[in-house]
């Protein structure tokens, strides 16, 4: 080779003859070997030919039209929140319709607003919501395939499913739908109360989803879809939350928040709130004077004025129970003309020693029994 970077015509023909002699299975046009010869002009290209091939790394495609702006941890938190919401909403809706309604969370996805809008039916029940202090608006879409059976049930319809109407809702139907949306918002407020106190309301109801644009078409939204089942009828309800509405509270939407909420220590404020609620609770208080056993014959012969003797000493304290659980020791007496007891000691848990009751000042000290009295 006269020049390191140029092949002579004889050398090119020699390479072609060597390739034909090797007997390749696939015949390539003459341009292919010439291209290989041309590549020898570049030293880097020659290095690439002799370098062993590397295994290709796994490449994940990224769609710039659908950027994933909501983190996986926030998505898991939203899924956990609305799984419980679905169960509570299903129970509340079952009570309203007097029929078993199953509400199941089917998916929690993020997509663009335009994709969400064009995936809906027209006409539909498209509710524009406010969720203060969240910014912007939320959307609740109820599919007509499940909405009209619910309206039919509210109007006293039977179990037979009627054909789904493809028309906008009337004024009477809108009034009935408000009962469903108000129930939805009430349970949604309860599901979010551990994260944020939402003030939810319906701004307006539209039949054509394409007429409502709360965010730009390419803006990312979180779509939470529920499947409602009433007998043999099924339909979807979709809750659309724009990303800009939950962007500032992303730190609160974490799985750790839910775990810490159930295992954190009770604060003094929550303790006071719980105590104030329990202060008004009524409990049953009972005092056991004495216990004994008699025969059935003696029981049948009892008359007014008969005296039943027991083995309990009159100077021993009485057991006081609260809702059937023995909690105190007390002595009987009278107060303002009424029978009363005076609490003398608090009975500790079973793993602690029983208290020694105090002797009332107006009574002599009771004798110490050889063994504690039992039932006779």
pLDDT in tens, 32-58: 444 444 444 444 444 444 455 555 566
Q: How far is CA 369 from CA 276, 278, 313, 372, 374, in A?
A: 43, 40, 10, 6, 11
Q: Higher pLDDT residue, 370 or 302?
A: 302
Q: Domains of the chain by range and CATH? A: 72-256 (3.40.1550.10)
How far is 171 from 334, CA to CA, in rounded Å? 69
Q: Any idea which of 47-51, 159-163, 275-279 has the lowest mean pLDDT?
A: 47-51
According to the model, what pLDDT value does residue 61 have? 62
Tokens standing for residue 115: 């994709």
* Percent of the chain whose pLDDT exceeds 70: 72
User: Where does the pLDDT of residue 261 fall: very low under 50, low under 70, confident under 90, or very high at 90 and above?
Assistant: very low
Dihedral, 317, 320, 326, 328 alpha carbons, nearest 10: -60
According to the model, what pLDDT value does residue 327 have? 86
Q: Are 108 and 222 in contact (CB under 8 A)?
A: yes
Q: Any idea which of 15-19, 71-75, 344-348 has the lowest mean pLDDT?
A: 15-19
Average pLDDT over residues 158-185: 82
Relative orientation angle of helices 255-263 and 72-97, to the nearest 10 degrees: 70
According to the model, what pLDDT value does residue 60 have? 58
Q: Is the pLDDT of residue 240 over 90?
A: yes
Relative orientation angle of helices 171-192 and 72-97, to the nearest 10 degrees: 130
Task: Identify which of 214, 200, 227, 202 has the alpha carbon closest to the alpha carbon of residue 117.
Answer: 214
How far is 125 from 142, CA to CA, in rounded Å? 5
User: Where does the pLDDT of residue 67 fall: very low under 50, low under 70, confident under 90, or very high at 90 and above?
Assistant: low
How far is 66 from 116, CA to CA, in rounded Å? 12
* Percent of the chain whose pLDDT exceeds 90: 14
Sheet of 325-335, strand order: 285-288, 318-322, 325-335, 338-346
Task: Identify which of 84, 127, 102 has the alpha carbon closest to the alpha carbon of residue 233.
Answer: 102
DSSP codes, 171-191: HHHHHHHHHHHHHHHHHHHHH
Q: Are 94 and 100 in contact (CB under 8 A)?
A: yes
According to the model, what pLDDT value does residue 223 have? 93
Mean pLDDT (the chain) is: 77
């Amino acid at each position: 080779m006269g020049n390191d970077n140029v092949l002579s015509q004889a050398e090119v023909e020699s390479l072609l003859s060597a390739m034909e002699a090797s007997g390749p299975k696939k015949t390539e046009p003459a341009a292919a070997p010439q291209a290989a010869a041309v590549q020898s002009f570049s030293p880097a290209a020659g290095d690439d030919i002799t370098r062993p091939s590397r295994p290709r790394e796994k490449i994940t495609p990224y769609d710039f039209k659908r950027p994933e702006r909501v983190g996986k941890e926030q998505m898991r938190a939203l899924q956990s929140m609305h799984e419980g919401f679905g169960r509570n909403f299903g129970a509340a809706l079952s009570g309203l319709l007097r029929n078993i309604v199953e509400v199941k969370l089917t998916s929690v996805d993020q997509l663009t607003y335009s994709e969400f809008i064009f995936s809906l039916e027209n006409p539909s029940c498209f509710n524009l919501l406010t969720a203060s202090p969240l910014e912007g608006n939320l959307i609740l879409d109820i599919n007509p395939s499940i909405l009209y059976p619910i309206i039919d049930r509210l109007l006293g319809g039977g179990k037979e499913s009627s054909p789904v109407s493809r028309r906008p809702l009337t004024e009477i139907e809108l009034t009935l739908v408000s009962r469903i949306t108000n129930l939805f918002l009430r349970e949604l407020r309860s599901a979010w109360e551990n994260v944020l106190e939402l003030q939810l309301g319906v701004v307006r109801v539209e039949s054509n989803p394409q007429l409502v644009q709360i965010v730009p078409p390419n803006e990312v939204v979180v779509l939470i879809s529920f499947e409602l089942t009433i007998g043999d009828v099924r339909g979807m309800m979709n809750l659309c939350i724009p990303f800009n509405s939950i962007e500032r509270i992303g730190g609160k939407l974490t799985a750790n928040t839910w775990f810490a909420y159930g295992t954190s220590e009770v604060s003094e404020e929550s303790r006071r709130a719980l105590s104030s609620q329990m202060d008004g609770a009524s409990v049953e208080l009972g005092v056991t004077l004495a216990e004994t056993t008699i025969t059935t014959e003696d029981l049948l012969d009892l008359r007014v004025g008969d005296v039943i003797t027991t083995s309990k000493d009159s100077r021993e304290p009485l057991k006081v129970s609260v809702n059937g659980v023995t909690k105190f020791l007390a002595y009987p007496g009278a107060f303002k003309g009424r029978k009363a007891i005076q609490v003398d000691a608090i009975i500790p848990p079973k793993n602690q020693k029983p208290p020694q009751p105090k002797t009332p000042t107006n009574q002599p000290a009771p004798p110490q029994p050889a063994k504690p009295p039992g039932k006779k």
